[in-house]
Amino acid sequence: MIFKYFLIFLLALSAFLAGESLVLEPSEIALQAPLPHQYPPGDFPANSAVRVTVEAQNDWSISCLYENMTAGNSVIPGDRFFVRKQGEDYLSMTSTIHIGSGAATDGSFVEVNTLEFHAHILPTDAAGEYYGSIKFIDDSEQEMAVLPISLTIEPYVNFSLQQPLGPIVFTIDGGPGVYSANEDNYAQLNVDGNTEAWQIKAAFENITPTCNLVGNNHFVRNDALPFEHDEGAGFGYMHLGYDRVVLDGQSEGISVRSRLFFKLETAYNLEPGQYHSKISFDSPGYSNSHTINLEINVEEYLAIEVSESKVNIVSEGPPGEYEADKLVKLKVASNTSKWEARAQGEPLKSDDDEIPPSRLFINSSAKKETGYVPLDQEQIIATGTATNMAEVSDLTIKVKTEWEDKAGEYNGNIYFTVIALP
């Protein structure tokens, strides 16, 4: 952040009125921000005191009066411009201040006072060149000398980011979707400055270890200024991207306090593990930047679906093998490097009979080499690698009836599971 404040007092060496002569020494003093640059702006003293001397033929009394420094519509008023007389405290220059009096000096210069000045600069004071003056007057309010004052305030934008101890943490405990940062994980963004147009931009850095998650999967919401709705992220959130304006303004005198909330969209299944990234923030044109660390904890995720909730098998003839009326499509989602889908049946029961699962069979298109297998124990019906929810097999189900099976309606279940493999 670069900002400088210079207050320059251009001093009239002397003025002669009604037999009085006033001298100001030195002839020029400056008010400059200390290094390293002070933030927030505050009190800036002149680099030298001003010694005021007078030569007068009669009794004399001298006061000074501050006339506001201005830059366009911006003003440094008297309650923020101060003078200190020798041995006294600082006084705001909101009215005429008496600095000394005495008798005729018999042709010699005598000291009236030694004055110290400082100005109080606010973070919201607009950048620009300010001009004003200090008038020195006698007891009849006749002007004896004028001290021109100039103040240069350079434009600046300063911002800070505060976040909870440690990084912003995301816990990914499901499939692709939009995830909020863990509870109370937000960043406090504070912006101060004096420029008319300003921006705070954010850039997303690549995740390590490398994965297929990119910057456009990040969302940020700012509670100070409204943003358009982004589909999928919820009202008020915006895509972060690789270089995105997250906060801006067009008015002089910046003082913004905003909280930033984060969401993460996983468009693909991420392999289980811990990932790290950063979001860097900067204000274009100003040497001020901050970084937020991100931690993404991806838990193991497995999901399995079947296309049908119920199939019917009708045995209308002699004992034999009868197929279900519908083909069942198997879908699996997993973020593990290897997975295995399994099926197992339970007895088919009627009111007074049952058919054991050893006579309930399944055939998987993903395991053609095995053909139909009995479901009295777990059978592997598909294997694969990390995938979004996708069809992995077509399943055909059949039952074998025997002469001793009683006529009636039988009901039962087939259970499908998916597990991660080492």
How many Cβ atoms are within 10 Å of 310's Cβ, its own excluded?
Answer: 9
Q: What CATH number was assigned to the domain covering residues 157-298? A: 2.60.40.10
User: Is residue 198 within 8 Å of 255, Cβ to Cβ?
Assistant: no
Q: Where are the domains of the chain?
A: 5-153, 157-298, 302-420
Tell me the CATH architecture of domain 5-153. Sandwich (2.60)
Q: What is the dihedral of CA 265, 269, 275, 281, to 10 degrees?
A: -20
Q: Which of 22, 43, 53, 31 is nearest to 149 (CA)?
A: 31
Beta strand 244-249 pairing with 198-204 = antiparallel
CA–chain centroid gap for 3, Å, is 24
pLDDT at 403: 95
Three-class secondary structure of residue 137 per DSSP? strand
Q: How far apart are CA 122 and CA 362, in angstroms?
A: 79
Q: Give the phi and the psi of residue 123 in degrees, each rounded to 5.
A: -60, -25
pLDDT at 390: 93
User: Is residue 175 within 8 Å of 388, Cβ to Cβ?
Assistant: yes
Three-class secondary structure of residue 166 per DSSP? coil
The answer to whether 157-298 and 302-420 have equal CATH topology is yes
pLDDT at 227: 35
Q: How far apart are CA 71 and CA 67, in angstroms?
A: 13
In 3-state terms the chain splits into helix, strand, coil percentages (rounded to 5) of: 5, 55, 40
Residues making up the chain, counted from first to last: 422
Q: What is the dihedral of CA 76, 79, 85, 90, to 10 degrees?
A: -120
- Give the pLDDT of the chain (422 residues) as one tens digit per residue: 333 433 333 333 334 444 678 988 887 777 765 544 555 677 888 888 999 999 999 999 999 999 999 998 889 999 999 999 999 999 999 999 999 999 999 999 999 999 999 989 887 788 888 888 999 999 888 888 888 888 888 777 878 888 767 888 889 888 888 888 887 778 888 887 777 778 888 877 766 765 544 444 455 655 443 333 334 434 456 666 667 777 777 666 677 777 788 887 776 667 888 888 888 888 887 777 888 888 889 899 999 999 999 999 999 999 999 999 999 999 999 989 899 999 999 999 999 999 999 999 999 999 989 999 999 999 999 999 988 899 999 999 999 999 999 999 999 999 999 999 98
Which residues are bridge partners to 14 per DSSP?
Answer: 23
∠ Cα 270 272 277 (to 5°): 65
Q: Considering the entire predicted model, what is its pTM?
A: 0.66
N- to C-terminal Cα separation, the chain: 52
Residues 238, 241, 246, 248: is their CA dihedral positive or negative? negative
pLDDT at 332: 96
Beta strand 254-266 pairing with 244-249 = unpaired
pLDDT at 32: 64
- The per-type count for the chain, helices as H runs and strands as E runs, is 0, 36
Q: What CATH number was assigned to the domain covering residues 302-420? A: 2.60.40
Half-sphere exposure of 228 (CA within 13 A, CB side): 5
pLDDT at 250: 67
Q: How far apart are CA 344 and CA 394, in angstroms?
A: 16
